[in-house]
Amino acid sequence: MEHMTFLVTVVIITALAFDFTNGFHDTANAMATSIATGALRPKVAVAISGVLNLAGAFLSVEVAKTISGGIIQESSGVHPQVVFAALIGAILWNLVTWLRGIPSSSSHALYGGLIGATLVAVGMHGVEFSVVVTKIIIPAVASPVVAGIAAWGATKVAYRITRNGNEKATGKGFKAGQIASASLVSLAHGTNDAQKTMGVITLTLVTAGVIAPHSAPPLWVIISSGVAIAAGTYIGGWRIIRTLGKGITDIAAPQGFAAQTASATVILTSSHMGYGLSTTHVCSGGIMGAGKGGPTGVVNWSTARRMTYAWCLTLPSAAALGGLGALLADQGTWGVVLLGAIGAAGAGWIYLINRRRPIDASDVVNVPETVTPIPVAPATPATPTDVVAA
């Protein structure tokens, strides 16, 4: 009993660590465009985003239920060490993509880790593939397209209705609107992404027999998940903020307002319906749509392609990491300890690499147009074919 209590405690702490990485990995989703246009100063932006992420965690638990009793079959024999393996895989993938400045999906990293670990530990019957398809795969494909189209249309309308107005005055108005829309995205992010950690912790408590199957997350789980993602958000994922703020398109205030409003609408609607979509996919799609809807219609497709590759790799890569972790964790106590040591060593190594080439708040203000993320391979200069004008 003492061993199980210790293991559950370790899994909960690891889940909150993942929630923390989710926060700084996804800060860019809400605040990158506001920082890029000068609507908000970087430190102020991440502070606002952190507070609203915390508030959003209390608005709904539908996505948490999708994870705790949806994609994983609670009665299939899943144990806390399986969840632990999934979380280690998701954290490592989050850190690798953050180091490269790639806005990949923290949500899909978590889903992939859970699916891979469960398949290895209990087999195919442990995963509800129908839920995976309807509430994860389909939203992953549809949400950036929907957000992109909505942002494209909203940008066209914004420029049309202000075409005869005073440019300085309308610019100030749109920047004020950006503050409101960025705040709404932060609230939506807390509503969607904080719930994923709530769902993982609830799943762990169910598999350990602490609470009954299909239970809603306890209040302490909601509070701790909200605080963890808010703290991570306040740290500021400056590498990814730089990519989304200037790497996709040179975005102006009307485009930023349109992208954020479209993204928030899609995320809040999906959270209400229990869809575990990726806020990264949605916000990136919104920025691309706003870029195409702007006066120049310029989008850096080179950066967009790298992001798309990362999106496609996230689910299977995290699943592979989670599956390998489950193989190790199933060996017993020594396997769980070794897996934890590997995860800690990997995170420490990535942190040390980051310190060699640190990116902070000063690096996301007035950065050059079409900055590309730190690449996996040596960077090559962008060519004219990489930027396509409409």
Angle between helices 106-122 and 301-329 (to 10 degrees): 30
Dihedral sign, Cα of residue 201, residue 207, residue 213, residue 214: positive
Q: Cα(118)–Cα(300) distance, rounded to whole angstroms?
A: 38
Return phi, psi of residue 294, to 5°. -75, 180
d(CA 29, CA 286): 10
Distance CA 52, CA 72 (A): 29
Token pair for 76: 């299939």
Residue-by-residue pLDDT tens, the chain, 390 positions: 566 778 889 999 999 999 998 888 877 777 888 888 788 888 888 899 889 888 888 876 666 666 655 677 766 677 888 889 999 999 999 899 888 888 888 888 888 999 999 999 888 888 888 888 887 888 888 888 999 999 999 999 888 888 877 777 787 888 888 888 888 888 877 877 777 888 888 888 888 888 887 777 888 998 998 899 889 888 877 788 877 777 777 788 888 888 888 888 888 787 677 676 778 888 888 889 998 888 888 888 888 888 888 888 999 999 999 999 999 988 888 999 999 999 999 999 998 998 888 777 776 665 444 433 434 444 444 444 443 333
The predicted pLDDT at position 380 comes to: 46
Cα dihedral sign, 330-336-338-342: positive
* Residues contacting residue 2 through CB under 8 Å, at least 6 positions apart: none
Given this model, what pLDDT does residue 3 score?
61
The H-or-E segment that residue 355 falls in is: helix 333-356
Report how far residue 306's alpha carbon sits from residue 259's, in angstroms, rounded to the nearest whole number: 20
Task: For the chain, give the number of residues.
Answer: 390
215 sits in the region (left: phi over 0; alpha: psi -120 to 50; else beta) called beta
The alpha carbon of 59 is separated from its chain's Cα centroid by a whole number of angstroms, namely 18
Distance (Å, whole) CA 232 – CA 30? 14
Residue 307 near residue 103, CB atoms below 8 Å: yes
Query: At residue 299, what is the residue type?
Result: V
- Asked if residue 335 lies in contact with residue 128, where contact means CB atoms within 8 angstroms, the answer is no
Asked if residues 106 and 193 have their Cβ atoms less than 8 Å apart, the reply is yes
Cα(113)–Cα(316) distance, integer angstroms: 9
> Rounded CA gap, 248 and 151, in Å?
14
Could you tell me if 57 and 233 are in contact, meaning their C-beta atoms sit under 8 angstroms apart? no
Is residue 147 within 8 Å of residue 289, measured between CB atoms? yes
Tokens of 311: 């999106």
Query: Rounded to an integer, what distance in angstroms lies between the CA atom of residue 261 and that of residue 272?
Result: 17
Positive or negative torsion for Cα 196, 200, 206, 211: negative
Q: What is the pLDDT of residue 371?
A: 39
Rg (CA), the chain: 20
- CA–CA separation, 72 vs 65, rounded Å? 11
Q: Strand pairing partners for 387?
A: 300
